[in-house]
Amino acid sequence: MVQYSVKKLAKLAGVSVRTLHLYDQMGLLKPSVRTEAKYRLYGEKELLRLQQILFYKELDFPLQAIAQLLNDPQFDLFQALESHKAALKQRRDRISTLLVTIDKTMLHLKEKTMLTHQELYEGLPKE
């Protein structure tokens, strides 16, 4: 069983050691083991939980909401991954549309090509 120190996990996941300490303090991500010297060690289960935390953060969930979701006894990891995938695909599609809108607008400004007024706002959020 591979276990990671705080420093190694931080580097692997692209977060700071301070972030991992905060998550531990909040009860969001507890280490699997604390050594006699008080070192935190993280195993596979914690790595998967950290991945979930980071996916939810990417989707703009606040930490308190993430904690509630992950601590819910009904939480289903596979279902959560499917949900993240769908949300990220939607975000990707929206960003692709926004990039096309930017390209069309730049072309319009450079070459005085005609753009419909609708095209100016394609992909932008509607109230």
Query: pTM for the full model?
Result: 0.83
**pLDDT exceeds 90 at position 113:** no
pLDDT, one tens digit per residue, over 64-97 is: 999 999 999 999 999 999 999 999 999 999 999 9
DSSP string, the chain: ---EEHHHHHHHHT--HHHHHHHHHHTSS--SEE-TT--EEE-HHHHHHHHHHHHHHHTT--HHHHHHHHH-TT--HHHHHHHHHHHHHHHHHHHHHHHHHHHHHHHHHHH-----TTGGGTTS---
pLDDT, one tens digit per residue, over 22-56 is: 999 999 999 999 989 989 999 999 999 999 999 99
**pLDDT exceeds 80 at position 115:** no
**pLDDT exceeds 80 at position 117:** no
